[in-house]
Structure 1
């Protein structure tokens, strides 16, 4: 009698639930010449291409000031917020990432306070910099390619991710679809077990063995 076939491991796009309750006190001063949280590519061009690996374009810039977040004391503080492809995370969430994906992220400790003047929660700006190219089996996935080789996604998709390429990555980006942060089933399950608040997951495919 043969054993039951193992269930394929899911791969998800990581996001937050949109229930924020805070705002930047100094976003316009972080990079006065751009107004964005990410790198200014005019002044700081990436050497070979916008998405050159392994770190891609997602490192945290050298801001003119430390990001400062003002929290509403009437709203519950969550463990994760997604803003402009960056994560803003609690100490609890950072501990989970340090444990499961210690080389996948870079961090910047933010300044925080509540709008009533009380000391705010400890929040880190986090960027996932672990990125991969050709990690999806295009012949078995519902994906179209742009003329630049990036992925064009229409409606519901089912992607087959290659275990040999991802090599045990739990949180990562794709060169061909860098607007998203991906995670595996292990990371999703651990977030549930640790009671991470504010996180959401959209399944986009499975890990193909």
Structure 2
């Protein structure tokens, strides 16, 4: 079923809260800017999105705003790519375009609020002991990311300087997250590496659309 059908069910007061909550989850499967788990975590700021219909409707409205903005972005991107193919014979998107397409971003008017909320959420989680970070080679990355995240969170606005520094660290962070993710049970360093990567992504992409 389509996103629109699931959205209609979330707002259908004839349905039980459980079915409306399930419909919201299905909508997030179809459009989840941060992935299902982290998008659901962000939308929990509106309340219990599994049992409270008011929280579900508010969360859906925020998700729809982002989805509408993303649709507009893709339309503009598609138009620009058509011009590039015709006028410049560029058949392949640039590296910057590919990074933008794959980025975990919350398009629309809530972009900064969403990115900051999730960075703040993860920054408050405790890091593994230093010995575990050293064993996984994460000590320097931990120190570098935390310094820039602190600078980003010190003021309630995007921080292009911190974003640029963290953008430069993303290849190393992605490699560290992939390297530590192999175990059957997610270790504390593996979870930390992934959170460091995601915080860096969110600070880096907390900026207006292209």
Q: TM-score range by the shorter chain?
A: under 0.3
The structure where strand makes up a greater share of residues is: 1
Q: Which has the higher contact order (CA 8 A, sep 6+)?
A: 1
Normalising by structure 2, what TM-score?
A: 0.25
Normalising by structure 1, what TM-score?
A: 0.25
The structure where helix makes up a greater share of residues is: 2
